[in-house]
Structure 1
Amino acid sequence: MNVERSSKFVAMADSVSGAVVSVLHYPGFDIDIGRGELLVEERPMALRPKTFALLLHLARHPGRLLGRSELIEAVWRDVVVTDDSLVQCVSELRAALCDRNQRLIRTVPRRGYIFDVRPIGSVSREGLDLPAPSRSRAFNGDVVSPEWVREAVPEHSPGGLVDVVAKRGASLNPGSTGTERASSPRSARAAGNLPAQMPPLYGRAEDIAALEGFLQVSPVVSVVGPGGIGKTRVAKAVAHVLRDDYADGVWLVELASLVDGQLLVPTVARVFGHQITLGATGLMSLVQLVKDRRLLLLLDNCEHVLEQAADLVTQIVAAAPGVRALVTSQEPLHIDQEQIFRLDALAVPTSANETAALDYGAIQLFVARAQAADPEFTIDRSNASDVVEICQRLDGIPLAIEFAAARGAVLGIQGLRRRLDERLRLLAGGRRTALPRHQTLRGALQWSYGLLTAPEQTVFDRLGVFMGTFSLEAAQCVASDQLIDSWAVIDHLASLVDKSLVMVEGGETPRYRLLESSRAFALEQLTSTGSLDATRRRHAEALAESLTGDDPFEEPLARIRRIAPDLDNVRAAVAWALGPTGDRQIAVELAAATDMLWDARGFNDEGARLYRTIEPWVNESMPTRLAARFWFAIADLRMRTQTRRQAASALKAAHLFRCLNDRFGVFRSMTLAVYQFAMLADRDAAKAALTEAEALCDDAWPSWLQTSISLCRVLFAYYIDGKPGEAKRIANSALQGHRCGDSFFGDRCELMLPACDLLEGDFASALRHCNRILDSSSVTESVLLRSQTLIMSGAALVHLGDIEAAEPALRSACTLSMHASGPMTCPYCYVAQLLVRQGRLADAARIIAWIDNRRLQANNDYRDWIPPHAVFSYEQARNVVDSAFTREERDRLASEGAQLSVEQVTAMAFPRQ
């Protein structure tokens, strides 16, 4: 759900109360903060501590959209969890509160949750809360015409409509009073032409509730979204719920088959059973017909008659204050008083827990349609990951999901997933009663595409080469040419957003994206015109230039934040550059510009594979500056599995920058060399690199470069000289005036403080430093920073005896470090000590044997070198294990451990609960 000019989200209170509160009272339940207890109808409900913590955070922010990341940070600050943990807690809360219809805790697809209830008398209401939805009564479904229509229909008019409505005075006219509404008799049944029963909807409860509220305050509400997203079904469901709230009925006008906008007015009149002529007099006649009435007019599928629909609705709401208009369209009407409601796709889970997945509308719809084709179908552990991936790749679009589920009975779920790349051919065969354009996915996209101007079509086609989101500047570079300049691209992009063919991702700097099915259609259009390869080249060139940037002094953390959203685009551009029609130099340019991108997204191993592929192409034929940047990227990659190679790459980069007389480039390269040689404990090489870097540093350069030198000195003192006190002194001096999260090298200095504490045995201080880093914003932008912090946090917790908290920290650290820096041995030293504390001595012995085996094969790689702060834990665990078993037992366990892979070791240490 995405709301424009919404009256719902205004000035809500941020907390339950400014005073200290022990119990919060709600209708039907209480939250006892002091006891950490939820009481429903005075009965205590058993909630896990994390579930109650989630409830408390929701209760502190009633009426406010709380993002998933915010909730996860609030409840699981000390550990790393997936969205599934949050979904599970929400499910438990809804079960405890009997909130099956999601009226208390509402899901906002792809965004988060809203706690839509407030304590009784404890919070002042600012703005407007949504009222409870009306309760409609089912009836036999006949089309019923109220008396006002019957009186207006000539005797010869076809239809023979019969009036069964006793007019009631209830009105949504803001000018009417509550007394007037209460004094009017209620109709025996509501007028209108809606069917008595509506098909079930999945995952739309919050959308329907929001639209009900908007119709209370807005005379015109437009439900806007791309084709197939479910606008018609949602609007009909809202109209069905509200049918008893309008004395003169709810009237549906279906416009999809209307080929001439001039026929709009007669078509609407005909629904009322009234015959009128074309032209301005016809519109005036229609306005006169409804001006004193209280009704809801639902205009469905207006995008191809937008101008005429806007005129009709404007005239009606201006003259008829009792009329509400609910419109569905791919594009807003753009008229006064219009409330725009952009309908989002159905929510899709991020992982494949079959129980949690069923809380998501996309999965519910898929299962329902799959069971319609095959009554034996169920979602279980064997197919949950495939079903989730199918719904993810279909962007949660209901029409596409329905097609896919129907095909699943023929292809099987795995076969369906494998063939999704052929989606425009695969997803066909919709219901025969559906609109022709909704009988195939291509038909739905072709309908929307046909409403565009030729330049809009061109821009749309070219945007198809983007993967994931893209910036406005990138869109201008890729979509402009001699006929469409960069300013025109902005206009056409805005129009595509308006028409729901391009989605907007909110944020400080907006980014844009095409739904995957729309992207496949755009690529098909590019292919048919022979423009695909040229557009992909333009995309790769623009991306390489954008990632490189034009500011050599850009602070690394700022750079990470700027380039991190483009990972998917890098993958697409690299795939083209490495392909048969690609360009090797562009591939090198892309690789040279992505050194910090991989760590920001947690895929350093992927970056390492890319660099290995491209490295043979970097020879004398490459421009010197490009080659220097490439070797710098290898040295700067946060993949700490081949430290010697990275150190050599730093020296290569420095040499090439010297050839270019680039003092700054040499300086940056030598600071990287210090880091790598410190990891290798190579005193002479580290000292030489540090001395050169210090000599090159210029006081006129930005201050973050001074901090990078300080980090080099910290590393030398800690790893080379073995002086944690001196390292801590230098780090603290560098951190004066620094806030965690505002400087890349400052954060790395901060990270060395718990390392020093661990080496000195001050475990409480180490834990405080780790918690400070984990609370910072930058920890989410570097998987390596997070994994290393969790390693030391877990170590401190083990030493402090808090085994319950240490286990999830170390589990997360081991998982994250696999992609962040390679399968490092270091965290498993603490894991061995953890298992000893848990009494799992045999498993601890196997892990120690695995560590020993890797050290024998290490060749001085960083991954198998145990840093000073881990040696004590390793030795402590080894001593306990050696004294617990006989020689024969130790030999057997050692043999078993030496044969394990890192994945097997991790699974053994942290078995699934």
Structure 2
Amino acid sequence: MTGVGHPVIRTPDQRIRVFVSSTLRELAEEREAVRSAIERLRLAPVMFELGARPHPPRDLYRSYLAQSDVFVGIYGASYGWVAPEEQVSGLEDEYNLAPRGMPKLIYVKDADGRDERLAELIARIQADDTAAYLHFRSAAELEDQVAGDLAMLLAERFDESRVPSAPELEEAPTTLVGRVPVPYTTTIGREPDIDAVRTLLARGTDRVVSLIGPGGIGKSRLAIETALACEDLFPDGVYFVLLEGVLEPGLLLPTIAYYLGIRDNGEAALEERIAHALAERRVLIVLDNFEQIVDAAPVLVRLYTVAPSATFLVTSRVVLRIRGERVYEVPALSTPPGDGPASLDRATRSAAVSLFVDRARAIDPDFDVTGDNARDLADICRTLEGLPLAIELAAAKVRILTPAGIAERLGQSLPLLTAAVRDLPERHRTMRATIDWSVSLLPAAERALLDDLGVFATRFTLEAVEALGAGRPWEGQAIDGLAALVDGSLVKQYEIGGRRVFSLLAIVREYAVGRLKANGDADRVRRAHADYYCELVRQVAPELGGRGQADAVLRLGLELPNLRAAVRHLVYTNRLDDAGDFAWSLLIYWWISGFFAEVRVWMLELLEKQHDQPITQHTRAIAWFFALWGEMWQRPSEQVVAGLGECVRLFTESGDEDAAAMALAARATARVQFSELDADKAEAELREAVVTLRERGNTWAEAITEVSLGRLAWVRGATGDALAHFDRATSVAESGGDLFTTSVAGNLRSRLNFQLGRIEDAEHEFIHTLLLSVTLHYEEGVAYGLEGVCAVAAAHGEAWRAAALAVAAGEIRRRIGIFDVEAFTVHTPYLEILRGRDPQSVAAGEAAGEELTVGEAVQLALPEDEYAAVAEKLRTW
């Protein structure tokens, strides 16, 4: 099997990467100057001398280019060496291989003479409309030019994409979940706080550092900036967990698992998986907006006890009051001293005034402190007590008011508004009053729209907003209303997954929900929200088991916060049967994405409410099925088997033979978990379930049940029967377009084929299932696929490659918490043989494997043409 010579090189901090192309010896001084310019801007230089390894140069610079963001070319007098059997030098080849869409900054050194082929290349570059071209004379001049051009490039890209999310942050694609968001506006006045919190984290003596303060004081922004400033302290990763919209304490662990990339399939306790994933890893986990689930704080003590090298940075309005907590009170921004005017000098200007000016310039680029407005700006910032969000809301009003007008209206309104909410702490009152004041300037329809938006969780689309409009004061005005709220800094807009979405800051959402309740409209809007997402699920769910599976999983992932909210609304408004149907229709999604613990929380709440609100037998069966799923794997017992048997009965009596067959298959699986294996009864139930599911046309459930039959047969030593079941499962899944089950069944089939000595067949399918897993962003499947290719490489005697893949797969397993022993492992025996024959190569491969990213490991596993098909998907891993 032929693979890529070596994987791509990628910076661990995910900064913008700048590829530097030039002749090495001729322009060594210039290369160092360019490196300095790049690092001045906190970007990552991508240069051979910073990490080249002994493998084919063309493969190396192709790999570097594949994951770089900007191309910088430096040309002097020499065209460079043309390698044997090559037509062009590496210098020209690098330019040719740079993607057309990649920004290219080209710098040509003044020279008396130039190689003819280099002159031809430069002439071609001059005609390239994707490249910017400049001359330079010295290394010092080059450094300044590169720094200036990169800054300009970033500014241009910023202006093109300035659609920030709450709190004015770039929202990463779904595949980047857990990464620290990148602020898209300037953070002002927080340098001392960042340094202070970094010092606390660097000491390593505090397991939980809590950033405490009222809403709007900038806790989230401080946490983000601190996390970005502490990447060097936590070499094993920094994760950002958004808890906004997570209202049940029982959802803390599932949410942390989701952001860590841990798939909860129910087979092990989630707390154990998280603990295993964090064991011996120096990681920082940021938990943002903890106040709404503060009762779950003791869970953090359990986590840091079993994972002592993990540190938690928490933002909350209230102190957690747990062992190991260090509290940092987040201060307001500094305001002008005394009662004097704002400083005209930027160097002596207070942070609050600097923030106001910065945000006002987004509306009026020429805005600044002047002799005419200095006192008004100082009064505004002092009145708003240096609260960053309050200042930003006020600054947004320069669109319609002068600073004098803003100061006057705040002076008239704020004292009255704060007096109306005396039950809140002082700065909470100021923030609430500022939102009140800002909203009071809106027309009635826009005020009503803002109230209704409070029903959404985290983010929402225009289509979803419009679905809530029937009969509301803003009906038919959603587009214009959203635009006005965006202009007023009350709603944020950004793009995710190619779709324009909107969001509210947590404190604004809280304010809107409070008004909805006060107006008596909360239940009505909740019903409309739930109806919209129920309809969305009805449209998308049928695709989950077939050819639209990958797109359906992606779309539901983007809507996950509102799917959670919809279930909550259905349960809260006593639409319990609708909640059960909603959860059941997404069974495949919960399975693929691993959300069983989360669904269990909702279903247990549903069962608690059945005493006051009757439910159908079908809904009761659904709720018990989800409640028993984790028990089936983690604590199998006769009671669990009996409970699933009751689910079979309830589904059958409800007339849902399809669901009854799935419950029967689950009951058989529970039997298999016993130490006293009742294999005959389990096999009989699985076979009965397969027949029913085939008759009902449920290809997804039929295929996954065939997989269970195959696993059972393999454990019992009936390899022929096992292979037949895996063949049928793969055939059924492929015919229906079910990528997930095709991957699961194919992986098992390939392992069994390998064990039976059919190496070539196994290799082909290992590669195929690895590609499917990448397409689905199914990291567990990726780990299995890498282990399979490792087995083949080991069988072929490729010691270094096999060892690197084995460690890379093990790192994925550890990171996502797959610590349960894999009963069908095939790669380790061959690797141990190689360890005896070639221990040095195995040791070198294992050392290399520890450094590989997921993308690098996949590239090492795949043939070059196969890797090209998924390279773009892997860029976001």
TM-score normalised over the length of structure 2: 0.49
**Greater RCO, 1 or 2 (C-alpha within 8 Å, sep 6+):** 2
From the CA coordinates, give the structure whose radius of gyration is larger: 1
TM-score by length of 1: 0.47
